[in-house]
Structure 1
Amino acid sequence: MPPFLRSLIALATACVTVVGAAGCIRTPDPLPTGSTATPTADRVFTVLTVQPATTTDPAGVTNDSDSMVVLDLFQRLMLVQPSTQLLKPDLAKECLYTAPTVFECSLPKDAQFSNGHLLTSSDVKFSLLRALRLAPGQMSLLGALRTIETPDPYTVRFRLKYPDNQFGYGLAVPAASVVDEEAYDADKLRPVTQAPIGSGPYALEAWDNRGLTITKFAGYVGALDTDMPKIRINWADSATAEEALVGQQADIVWRTLSPAAIERLSAEIAEAQSTRQEPDFYRWRLFKTVLQRLVWLPSSAQRSNAALRRAVTLALQADRTATSILPSMINGHTDSFAMGGDPKLPKLNHAGALTVRFTDSSPGMEDLARQVVDRLHSGLGITVRLVAEGEPADLELRDSAPQVNTALGWLQDYLKNPLPGSAGKLEELEERFRSSSKDEVQLPALSEIQKQAAADATVVPIAEVDGVLFLSSRVELVGEALGPGWQLALWGARWRS
């Protein structure tokens, strides 16, 4: 496969704490710009994760590994620090409201794609309109958009239907990445056999059935940079990743690890600390950044059955530890789903069989899916079948990252596929939230959305859990080293000096 080219940036960070320490969130330090010493090992910096990427096209993102690739191969107008929800320009030099419904961004004059083409406002407009056609669900945070204007090659002007405090966040999601208008088809996704063409800090060098290799793109112009010349990302199961981390053959392990592997690695860290030795690896604390939830798929014929949706919610109540589809770390969280207790479960003798699938993002998801299937079958007396990711199903168990770590970012599973009877109310509540900056307006609107979500029960929360990210002791993540929704991004990876 010929060498490929290019990459992006996005931000976020939690305190780097060893396993067992309390989780915390801090404001990041600025990224350094100087070079960092490489270790003595002659191998390439290596990242292991279990979920294979399926695309390099921003409009084709379907899982968190796709997001990781796109974040590392493309730029967006804006960046988001998920730990602070702070918006910053990335590709844009500046973005601001010039009127209540006019959002304008200026571009640098020296930005270029990895194929040498200049990047202009026309590319930005093309990319966003293309993504809105090909991936409308991923672009739902741009719902207030009316038109895009390009008065000159370095200015992008967005006219909105109403004042929108969320619009900048919509420009930071992976699907909003900028592609080369001359190279990408406006109406079809780009296959992985064709080189991705972006403008960020990395370029794609190679893609194979084991993973991919990215290299630093010298032509990058943006808010962040990386000193890592080459990174190899391999798909690996839990046993392989654990062995590689212990044997110092992996520098970052993201997700991938089973609960048992995490326990063993945590014990090894604790043992080293007890003897005042530095462990060979440590855990980057991502405190409750993952929300496990069960989502009714719009294609399901059973989704319209309100009694069945309610029964599914009740069947999972005893084991539930999350009380809303908006995580507790987000301002505006409202307890709306009951948990614990001994709810009276209806018997659904005439209900049809249900099919459940799960996102294959970590070893624990299959175990959780089997528990969910068992609860539904034993509690409701109905036939429930478990299928693999991608197969037709009624329900999907997800732990995927939100598009962006904001209230509306987390609520998209619910808001973008409303029940017909709730659609009008939700649209009004969302616009009310978006068009005001006052807590006394926003918080009641968020609360009403969460209560309606509990009534509709099309998205059912299960648990808030910590993210799984282990690093070699020779490695650190500098600055906001994660994507806008806590996805892994690699521009912050550095060798310890």
Structure 2
Amino acid sequence: MNRKTLVLPAVIGLLAPVLAACGAPDGGGKGGDAIVVGTTDQFVATKDAPAPFDPAFAYDAGAWNVLRQTVQMLMHVPRGGGEPVPDAASKCGFTDTQNESFRCTLRSGLKFADGDALTAEDVKFSVERVLKIKNNNGPVALLSNIDTIETNGDHEIVFHLRTPDATFPYKIATPAAAIVDSGTYKADKLRDGFDADGSGPYTLTTETEGDRVVKAVFTKNPQYKGDLELKNDKIELRSFADTESMEKALKDGDISLMTRTLQPEQIKDLSENPAEGIDLIEMPGLEIRYLGFDTEDSTVKSRAVRQALAAVVDRGDLASKVYPATAEPLYSLIPNTITGHRNAFFNKYGEPNRPKAAGILRSAGISTPVKLTLNYTTDHYGPATKKEFEVLQEQLNSTNLFDADIKGTEWSKFRDSQKRGEYAVYGMGWFPDFPDADNYVAPFLDEDNFLNSPYVNSEARNKLIPESRRAADRAAAAGPFERIQEIVANDVPVLPLWQGKQYVAARDDITGVEWAVNSSADLQLWELGRGVA
């Protein structure tokens, strides 16, 4: 049955399940009893990244999507978004009015997949392990505000925070706070390789070729006790080298659903020329793309160079040429669908303006053209990334103010080089850990930030971010966030480019597709089933 593109309308934190589908109950792939899902995420173990699935190391959307199926957290964000609810816990909440003491009570009878009992001491061990290892690739910054952790018997755990943080429930709902067994995870060392286990909804086995995972198999964990309701017994997540082979596998019936990452051309084709038995589904997305800067590198150390770049980049041209109908210009680190958003870059620089950029450089005594290299990753965000950087290069060089080259590097090498400060200018994307303005600010500006950036603004780091976290009503934090966005637009430690939509394509006998990916790009594979939706 030919299907049109199905759009799932949403406001932030709310998805409306409007998907209608038809199909036979035994169709949708040749994967036996498993529902097979395709992805272009690559899972690679290298010398610099030896432990892709260790919660103390993993901090990218692909690895977290593996962990979310396998490990359990005290809380999780419900299927349609909103505030976190208990999962391994039976109840959680702040015990003080300052949002500095957070208490959770565990469900009774919790066990790891191997049958070992799970207690409050395991939760304490797991969180303290991330803080102790403090891997510079990992998510330690999400937990760094924890001062002490205390347990009371087997079922109660209390987190005492250094400073108030109303977003803390979101942070412990991420794999940064995954509960692991001290019998299989060492307190001070990463667990190398592709093993991952816990008390989550599935157990994990992997198939590898060399240093890469080609298939991750998730099998229903009979020991799981939590808030999630599994609609299937087994899922296979297959990693494809490119989107074309993934699409072919879907049309051939070898997989039932394809997700991260569909390319603009595929989305356009599947929308205008729907394939028999396949639905294209548009979902709300909170992904952003940006240019990052090593502000200590001589090329871009002068703020004037970064401001001039901000004054000439044409976001509308970039989105329309590379990501038609799938992206829109972004003028802030905070997406326009998140409370606290302000078009700070547009307010400061307006439309692309060569004379303004030339004046900025001239006033700072910067000789032109400014030579620089735009670095991008070839295999993490999809093949359209190369075209994106070709368009950026053309925009910059056409002004005669810049002499820009571009250079692509595979992700397994790119990320480590970026963290080591080997790139003056680099392009990256951000998929939020949780849908709050804090998670578009702190990972870039706070101590132990995701980029390992040398840029420091004391007002943002020491005053505004802490102030924003005191507000239990997140709308009340808009003032600090607006000021932070003004600082970023003025100093340009990062340059936001665009905000994207999400798409998945699925065979029409697969149910639950509307819940399979949330707005933060988290895979919720337990929602998938077979039959008539």
TM-score scaled by length of structure 2: 0.80
Match of 2:49 in 1: none
State the partner residue of 1:67: 64
Equivalent positions of 1:348-387 (< 5 A) are 348-349=367-368, 351=370, 353-358=372-377, 360-379=380-399, 380-387=401-408
What stretches of structure 1 of length at least 5 have no aligned partner? 1-16, 30-35, 273-278
What residue identity is the alignment partner of 1:385? Answer: I
Question: CA distance change for structure 1 residues 52 and 287 in 2, over 3 Å: closer, same or farther?
Answer: same
Contact in 2 for aligned 1:293/1:463 (Cα 8 Å) = yes
Change (3 A) 1:93 1:299: farther
Report what 1:427 is aligned to: 462
Q: Pick from 485, 501, 506: which aligns with 1:471?
A: 506
State the partner residue of 1:294: 291
- The answer on whether the counterparts of 1:95 and 1:106 sit within 8 Å (CA) in structure 2 is yes
Does the 8 Å contact 2:243/2:262 carry over to 1?
Answer: yes
SS of residue matched to 1:283: strand
How far apart, in 2, do the equivalents of 1:240 and 1:41 lie? 15
Q: Distance in 2 between matches of 1:170 and 1:305?
A: 35
Separation of aligned partners in 2, 1:343 and 1:41: 53
2:227 to 213, 218, 223: 223
**Structure 1 residue 218, shift from structure 2 partner:** 0.9
Q: Hey, what does 2:10 align to over in structure 1?
A: 24
Q: 1:323 aligns with which of 318, 325, 331?
A: 331
Q: In the alignment, is residue 415 of structure 1 matched against residue 463 of structure 2?
A: no
Aligned to 2:153: 152
Query: Which AA in structure 2 matches 1:342?
Result: N
Letter in 2 for 1:202: Y
> Which residue is equivalent to 2:431?
401
1:234 paired with 2:238, answer: yes
Q: Using the alignment, how far apart are the partners of 2:481 and 2:167 within structure 1?
A: 14
Tell whether 2:480 aligns with 1:445.
yes
Matched, 1:252 2:257: yes
Deviations 1:328-347 (A, max 9, x none): 11111111012534342336
Secondary structure at the aligned position of 2:230 is classed as coil
In structure 2, what is the equivalent of residue 198 of structure 1? 198
The CA deviation at 1:288 is 4.1
Q: Is the 8 A contact 2:28 2:507 kept in 1?
A: no
1:188 Cα deviation (Å)? 2.4
Residue-by-residue CA offset, 1:38-77 (whole Å, 9 max, x unaligned)? 5486523111111212422122224321111111111111
Q: CA deviation at 1:28?
A: 6.1
Q: What do residues 163-220 of structure 1 show as CA deviations (whole Å, max 9, x unaligned)?
A: 3211111101222211112211222221125x32211111112231322222111111
Aligned to 1:109: 108
Deviates more, 1:357-366 or 1:120-129: 357-366
Contact kept in structure 1, 2:510 and 2:528, CA below 8 Å: yes
Q: Report sequence identity in percent.
A: 24
The 3-state SS of whatever aligns with 2:426 is: strand
- Please report the RMSD computed on the Cα atoms of aligned residues, expressed in angstroms: 2.8
Equivalent position of 2:207 in the other structure: 207
Contact 1:403 1:484 in 2 (8 A): no
Change (3 A) 1:400 1:283: farther
Give yes or no for contact 1:53–1:63 (8 Å, CA) kept in 2. no
The answer to which of 168-177 and 485-494 deviates more is: 485-494
Structure 2's unaligned 5+ residue stretches are: 18-23, 45-51, 319-328, 362-366, 418-422
Write the distance in 1 (CA, Å) between the matches of 2:460 and 2:425.
24
How far residue 23 of structure 1 moved from its aligned partner, in angstroms, is 3.9
* Deviating more after overlay: 126-135 vs 419-428: 419-428
Counterpart contact for 2:29–2:36, Cα < 8 Å: no
Give, as a single letter, the amino acid of the residue that structure 2 aligns with 1:490.
Answer: L
After TM superposition, the structure 1 = structure 2 runs for residues 157-176 of structure 1, keeping only pairs within 5 Å, are: 157-176=158-177
* Amino acid in the other structure paired with 1:408: D
- TM-score norm. by structure 1 comes to 0.85
Residue 79 of structure 1: which of 66, 71, 76 is its match?
76
Q: Which amino acid aligns with 1:130?
A: R
Query: Aligned equivalents of 1:106 and 1:448: distance in 2?
Result: 38
- What code does the residue aligned with 2:249 have? A
Task: Write the letter of the residue equivalent to 1:411.
Answer: V
Match of 1:50 in 2: 40
Take 2:116 and 2:372, find their aligned partners in 1: how far apart are those partners?
54
Residues in 1 aligned to 2:336 and 2:441: alpha-carbon distance in whole angstroms: 13
**Do 1:77 and 1:171's aligned partners in 2 also have CA atoms closer than 8 Å?**
yes
- CA, structure 1 residues 377+423, in 2 after alignment: closer, same or farther (shift >3 Å)? farther
SS in 2 for 1:266: helix
Deviations 1:354-387 (A, max 9, x none): 3412362222222212322333344332343313
Conserved? CA contact 2:74–2:86, under 8 Å: yes
SS in 2 for 1:399: strand
Number of residue pairs aligned between Structure 1 and Structure 2: 466
Residue 163 of structure 1: SS of its match in structure 2? Answer: coil
SS of the residue 1:285 aligns to:
strand
Aligned 8 A contact 1:293 1:461 in 2:
yes
Shift of 1:266: 1.1
Q: Give yes or no for contact 2:431–2:520 (8 Å, CA) kept in 1.
A: yes
Task: State the match for 1:33 in structure 2.
Answer: none
Which amino acid letter does the alignment assign opposite residue 216 of structure 1? K
1:103 shift after superposition: 0.6
Contact 1:173–1:484 under 8 Å retained in 2:
no
Q: Partners of 2:459 and 2:385 in 1: how far apart?
A: 34
Distance 2:95 2:291 in 1: 41
